[in-house]
Structure 1
């Protein structure tokens, strides 16, 4: 493959070393019947996914010196459907937590939702209107640890109540870890979420805002999930939900956080948002 001018979103050699073992294992388990190894380097496929996530470009507008739409979409959907995207993310997340001298999985998570507009062409049956926030589109739910790292993500129609998102998040957290004992939520979540938490062995605490405070006042620990949403908004593919399938939207979150975690692990500086 000919040399190309690197993009700011490209993986460094140090970052690729952290991702490559999972990709190599995946390739070894998905060998072509003909023995063909593929025309494009896996590192360039990942670079293309990260580029699209950060810039928000359409599939057809991927730069010509990156692998073409068909190749990138093929691997993106394969890794989405078999969970390789989450596997890469979770392995890296564990490394960040261990580097911070914490156990691989947390004992406490913070839950919240965010409604975002859907792009033109997104199927109407998977979207709706958030009546409270007056946002037509989809609802993104996150469960994060105290470091702001994603433990679980769900994407639903914006019309779905926060209770349904909270229940889905608790189910995912319980399925993926056996260490989480407590979840903090805001007042948008009701008793149904607490009841679900009791069923899956997670205590749910509703953190109420001090009525004497006005304006934006960060609530201890609860603000961490708000910061996570702010970080995700630097990835323009997530500013508006462009994906036909909610699972693709979830995959975009995992890839965005993978990029963030790789920078944390390697000490790389993020591009200033005003310059991107």
Structure 2
């Protein structure tokens, strides 16, 4: 490809160096069907995924100086399906925690859900209506550690109760971080989640809000998951549900957090779309 202009979401050399060995190793065992190593540099493929996540554009609106949508789609779906995206996430998460002086895996997580409107074209079979929040679309469940780093993510129809999402999150947490022995949740989660956690050896603490407080009041420790939800909103593709499959929605979350963690590790930042 010829020299192109840069975008604020582009990887710096330092950020690319963090994930390049894993991407290169993946490519070495996944050559194209014709046997060659591919026409487009892997760094540009990742730049395209990050550009789309930050800008929120549809596939067909990717700029012409980036690899074509078909090529970017191929890698996005391949890495989503074989776990590469989550493997990159785990690599970066462990580095961020170690740099903060913590063990690779946490002992405490915070769970929360967020309901999002679904865009036109999202299959109705994967959406529903959150009766409490009156939001038609999907619901995103997050489990984060004390640093606000994502440990697990679940995306469902918005009509799914927080209990079901909470139990699914705890199952995923147990798989990715078996060291967790305590979870904090809000009052939207009920005794079902507490009982499920107890059976797994995880103490689930329902943090009740002070009835004398009005409006949004951050709760000790639990505010970390609210902060992470706010950070995700800086990635425009996550402001609304655009993905046809919930697996793609979850993958978008991992790519957004991968971007955040790589920037933390290299001390770089990018302008937020809200300030544009």
Superposed pair shares fold, TM > 0.5: yes
Deviations, residues 26-83 of structure 1 (Å, cap 9, x unaligned): 1112133532111100000000000000000000000000001100000000000011
CA–CA distance in structure 2, aligned partners of residues 49 and 273 of structure 1: 16
Matches within 5 A, 1:68-79: 68-79=68-79
The runs of at least 4 aligned residues of structure 1 exceeding 6 Å deviation read: none
Indicate yes or no: 2:160 matched with 1:160: yes
SS at match of 2:47: helix
Indicate yes or no: 2:130 matched with 1:105: no
SS at match of 1:212: coil
TM-score normalized with structure 1 length: 0.98
Q: Contact (CA 8 Å) 2:236, 2:273: kept in 1 or not?
A: no
- 2:48 is aligned to 48
Q: Contact (CA 8 Å) 2:129, 2:135: kept in 1 or not?
A: yes
Matches within 5 A, 1:82-121: 82-121=82-121
- 2:240 is aligned to 240
CA–CA distance in structure 1, aligned partners of residues 273 and 244 of structure 2: 27
List gaps (5 residues or longer) in structure 2: none
CA–CA distance in structure 2, aligned partners of residues 151 and 198 of structure 1: 19
Report the alpha carbon displacement of residue 127 of structure 1 after superposing the two structures with TM. 0.3
CA–CA distance in structure 2, aligned partners of residues 33 and 210 of structure 1: 60
- 1:125 is aligned to 125
Q: CA RMSD in A?
A: 0.9
Report the alpha carbon displacement of residue 273 of structure 1 after superposing the two structures with TM. 4.0
List gaps (5 residues or longer) in structure 1: none
CA–CA distance in structure 1, aligned partners of residues 143 and 273 of structure 2: 24
SS at match of 2:198: helix
Report the alpha carbon displacement of residue 181 of structure 1 after superposing the two structures with TM. 0.5
Deviations, residues 118-139 of structure 1 (Å, cap 9, x unaligned): 1100000100000000000000
Q: 1:66 to 1:163 in 2, by over 3 A?
A: same
Name the count of aligned residue pairs.
Answer: 276
